[in-house]
Amino acid sequence: MLEARDLTKRYEDGVLALDHLNLTVDNGEIFCLLGANGAGKTTTINLFFDFIQPTSGRAVIDGIEVAADPIEAKKRASYVSENVMLYGNFTARQNLDFFTRLAGRGDLSREDYYMVLRRVGLQERAFEQRVKSFSKGMRQKLGIAIAILKEAPNVLLDEPTSGLDPKAGADFMELLLELKDEGKAIIMSTHDIFRAKAHADRVGIMKEGRLVMVRTREELTGEDLERLYLEYMQVETHAA
């Protein structure tokens, strides 16, 4: 379970990136964060991984406050970024081996890696290929493979389908649904309104560091999420 309690981040230059965010994402739930660039989506994820420290409030993973015990908290969460960054001179399997070992999984065999790589849809011939020749879609698949092998009960994804072709994006979302079915709590920041509506259990819209709207899948039934999103953006713009 992922929780944000009055989570606030103000940078040294005075910019308020996150303003008292309150949010709970349960196990087996996908929560999509929508919002323009600079709305606070990535800041939220950064705070859950201790990449930055909160100004006030708490980020909590499975009851463990991140700022108090970041290592224990991060053991319970996987991270997939917009551009999954890997070691170009290493093969897919070597990258998988490196990051899963760092996550404490030193017990996996080559066949275990191959199995996961097949599951995420990577072609067999790419398993032992250097990652520097991979397309973005292939890298994202590898990123989700790392997240799967970590076996963490929570997953945070930062615009993971951005720049993917429709087929690769759809495949990626299928994998995400599998993780949800395994009972993982998932937060995904995205600009893809349609995928958010199609796959999320709840959708939140962020603007200027605040969560200005949250709707469940049921509440969104029959609603035009894009129109809703644009309305919120306009309201906020006019208010500003």
β-partners of residue 158 are 189
Number of residues that bind other proteins (CB under 8 A): 30
H or E segment at 119? helix 110-119
188-217 mask for other proteins (x: CB under 8 A)?
A: ------------------------------
Q: Which of 81, 162, 198, 232 binds other proteins (CB under 8 A)?
A: 81
Taking a C-beta distance cutoff of 8 angstroms, is the pair 56, 202 a contact? Answer: no
| Contact with other proteins (CB under 8 A) among 68, 102, 115, 235 | 102
Should residue 104 be labelled a site residue for other proteins when binding is judged by CB under 8 A? yes
122 backbone dihedrals φ, ψ, rounded to 5°: -80, 135
The yes or no reply on residue 49 touching other proteins (CB under 8 A) is yes
Is residue 132 near other proteins by the rule CB under 8 A? no
Q: Would you count residue 136 as binding other proteins (CB under 8 A)?
A: no
Out of 51, 56, 182, 223, which residue is the one contacting other proteins (CB under 8 A)? 51
Q: What is the closest distance, in whole angstroms, from the C-beta atom of residue 47 to other proteins in the complex? A: 11
Q: Closest separation between CB of residue 13 and other proteins, Å?
A: 12
Q: Which residues contact 42 (CB under 8 A, 6 or more apart)?
A: 158, 189
d(CA 3, CA 185): 10
Compare residues 189 and 228 and give the one whose CB is closer to other proteins.
189
* 163 or 235: CB nearest other proteins: 163
Question: Strand 210-216's sheet: what is its strand order?
Answer: 77-80, 154-158, 185-189, 30-35, 202-207, 210-216
Q: Under the phi-then-psi rule, with left for phi > 0, alpha for psi from -120 to 50, and beta for the rest, what region is 57? A: left
Burial class (CB in 10 A: 0-12, 13-18, 19+), 207: buried
Query: Which residues are near other proteins by CB under 8 A?
Result: 46, 49-52, 71-72, 74-75, 77-79, 81, 83-87, 89-90, 94, 98-99, 101-104, 106, 146, 150
